[in-house]
Amino acid sequence: MSSHFNLKTLSFYGIAIGSVVILFNVVSAYGEANIKAPPAINGNYRLKAKNLPECVNSKDLILHIQQSGIYLNGSLLPVDNNSHAQAIAEEKPSLNGQLQNKKVELVGSAPFLNNCNNPPVQMQGTVEGQKMQGNFTLSPNSEKIEFIAEKAQETKQTEAQQKH
């Protein structure tokens, strides 16, 4: 009976497996050193802005942001929105954009600003920790509206707290 393990076969598989292990270690070390995930910015931000158009009927707005890596979805809501509008905004966000180097860009519409006739929105800003600063427009011909926003604290209750 001949041996299934000859020297050439064992050498080939040993070199192949060793090469894969070395390549994996090199790629892992490079990734850990050079590839960083973007900061998590998802959540609700309370926008304080001056010179909001009269159609807004609120002195502050809420920017709801959902994040997947560098890709962002969001909605611009009045502060006094109801929970139904919030649920719709979470399910079907009206703004799309990206986060690159702490810079946020969102484009879309604002259907939840009921008196503004669903204006097109362009928003740019910079995120630093829990704060965002930037500007947006509510129509192609409108002036830029400067804003400062702070991330709202999550107020989720556990089921045990809700039952008591």
Task: Give a yes or no: residue 162 inside a domain.
Answer: no
Is residue 75 located within the same domain as residue 28? no
Where on the phi/psi map is residue 20: left (φ > 0), alpha (ψ -120 to 50), or beta?
alpha
Let me know whether 27 and 94 are in one domain.
no
Mean pLDDT across the stretch 3-19?
89
Whether 144 and 114 map to the same domain: the answer is yes
| Residues paired with residue 145 on neighbouring β-strands, in sequence order | 136
Give pLDDT, residue 77.
86
The answer on 103 and 56 residing in a single domain is yes
- Tell me, yes or no, whether 122 and 82 share the same domain: yes
Looking at every residue in the chain, the average pLDDT score rounds to 84
Residue 142 corresponds to which tokens in the numbers above?
């409108």
Range of the domain at 29: 1-36
Is the residue at 164 inside a domain?
no
Sign of CA dihedral 111, 113, 115, 118: negative
> Is 7 in the same domain as 60?
no
Q: How far apart are CA 133 and CA 113, in angstroms?
A: 21
My answer on whether 17 and 84 are in the same domain is no
Is residue 106 a part of any domain in this protein?
A: yes
pLDDT, greater one: 162 or 29: 29
One domain, residues 21 and 93: no
Instruction: List all residues 6 or more positions away from 27 whose beta carbon is below 8 Å from its beta carbon.
Output: none
* Tens digits of residue pLDDT in 77-127: 888 766 777 777 788 899 999 999 889 999 999 888 877 887 888 999 999
